[in-house]
């Protein structure tokens, strides 16, 4: 059971990801505290088939896939992550990865063998990337997030494209894939953001799960208000690095989607008030979700998907 399950939170509505506008929703197991309970990014994609573990939807420029696997009894989350990621690379072969979402059961609890499950997941994911892309695999790593879920399944959702993505780092943070060993035996495999060129002067921008980390160190462990302030600073930094200004193309995008992950449900009113003042517009698609974060001392994480953002 994750820490999120120990706090009071609405359990009747769970968040889901739509691979296309018409098909069934991929459940994630995350309780919805407020906002949208389903996220569908792209029109013009339709279900096609399965590829191994993955259910796929495809359009002319996008391939979306989702897999949900319950680790077998006695099987580590590391081995399950390798299995899913090797299937992901096979399913997306010939496409370029732009974004991956990971929903990890009991993310802060010990895995088989005693390693924290997030660290075990990170090792399995990293080894799968290295096997697929070789020793220079870091250049192929897209934006991603990994948060805890109360569900039994390890759920992985990806978006891949025919276009040429650009992976971006935050100058105020050590790239996650260069974290020192104190954060686990293999560092996490994700870029801080991925920019995919769209129509002339526009881009689709995927900002990874962003939290209160400077360099590679957690800011204000366990304290939500200063962590939220730092998270917003990091979002401004990565937004500027992506070339869409410091405000995630506020008022200059076709659509903006945000997912706000809260370790403590009681933080919702405070966090929501700050975000509505400093980040969000009424037109944004926003989901506030109850979830454990990849580090025990982190209370809040925010991700953004900005479609049709004006560049420059």
Note the pLDDT of residue 297.
98
Q: How many CB atoms lie within 10 A of CB 188?
A: 24
Note the pLDDT of residue 101.
98
Note the pLDDT of residue 215.
98
List 154's β-bridge partners, or say none. Answer: 69
Note the pLDDT of residue 2.
36
CATH of domain 3-310: 3.30.1330.40
- Where in 36-153 does DSSP place strands (E)? 38-40, 46-51, 54-58, 62-69, 96-105, 143-149
Note the pLDDT of residue 281.
98
Active-site residue set: 301
Note the pLDDT of residue 17.
97
CA-to-CA distance for 56 and 66, rounded, in angstroms?
A: 7
Q: DSSP readout, 121-183?
A: HHHHHHHHHHHHH-TTGGGG--EEEEEEESSSSEEEEEEEESS--EEE--TTB--GGG--GGG
Classify 81 as helix, strand or coil.
Answer: helix
Burial class of 147 by CB neighbour count within 10 A (0 to 12, 13 to 18, 19+): buried
CA 272 vs CA 29, 160, 279, 288: distances in Å: 22, 31, 10, 8
Note the pLDDT of residue 10.
44
Q: Where are the domains of the chain?
A: 3-310
- Cβ atoms of 191 and 208 within 8 Å: the answer is yes
CA-to-CA distance for 249 and 310, rounded, in angstroms?
A: 7
Note the pLDDT of residue 130.
98
Burial class of 62 by CB neighbour count within 10 A (0 to 12, 13 to 18, 19+): buried
CA-to-CA distance for 298 and 121, rounded, in angstroms?
A: 18
Task: Check residue 255 and report its DSSP letter.
Answer: E
CA-based nearest residue to 224, from 290, 273, 270: 270
Residues lower than pLDDT 50 in the chain: 1-11
Place of tokens 């992901």: 88
The DSSP H or E segment spanning 268 is helix 268-278
Note the pLDDT of residue 312.
87
CA-based nearest residue to 243, from 166, 177, 159, 161: 166
Percent of the chain with pLDDT strictly greater than 70: 96
- Cβ atoms of 305 and 206 within 8 Å: the answer is yes
Note the pLDDT of residue 8.
39
């Amino acid at each position: 059971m994750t820490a999120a399950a120990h706090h009071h939170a609405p359990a009747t509505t769970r968040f889901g990801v739509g691979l296309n506008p018409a098909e069934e929703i991929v459940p994630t197991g995350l309780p919805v505290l407020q906002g949208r309970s389903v996220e569908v990014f792209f029109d013009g994609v339709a279900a096609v088939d399965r590829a191994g573990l993955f259910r796929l939807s495809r359009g002319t420029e996008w391939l979306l896939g989702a897999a949900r696997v319950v680790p077998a009894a006695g099987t580590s989350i590391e081995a399950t992550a390798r299995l899913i990621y090797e299937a992901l690379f096979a399913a997306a072969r010939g496409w370029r990865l732009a974004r991956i979402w990971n929903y990890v059961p009991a993310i802060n609890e010990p895995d088989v063998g005693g390693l924290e499950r997030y660290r075990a997941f990170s090792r399995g994911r990293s080894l799968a990337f290295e096997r697929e892309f070789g020793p220079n695999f870091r250049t192929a790593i897209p934006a991603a997030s990994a948060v805890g879920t109360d569900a039994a399944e390890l759920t992985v959702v990806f978006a891949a494209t025919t276009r040429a993505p650009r992976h971006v780092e935050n100058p105020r943070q050590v790239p996650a894939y260069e974290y020192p060993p104190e954060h686990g035996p293999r560092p996490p495999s994700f870029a801080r953001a991925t920019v995919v060129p769209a129509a002339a002067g526009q881009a689709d921008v995927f900002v990874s799960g962003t939290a209160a980390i400077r360099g590679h160190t957690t800011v204000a462990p366990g304290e939500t208000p200063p962590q939220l302030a730092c998270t917003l600073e990091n979002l401004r930094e990565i937004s500027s690095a992506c070339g869409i200004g410091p405000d995630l193309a506020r008022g200059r995008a076709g659509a903006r989607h945000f997912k706000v992950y809260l370790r403590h449900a009681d933080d919702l009113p405070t966090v929501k008030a700050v975000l509505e003042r400093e980040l969000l517009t009424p037109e944004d698609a926003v989901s506030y979700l109850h979830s454990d974060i990849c580090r025990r001392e982190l209370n809040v994480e925010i991700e953004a998907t900005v479609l049709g953002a004006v560049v420059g």
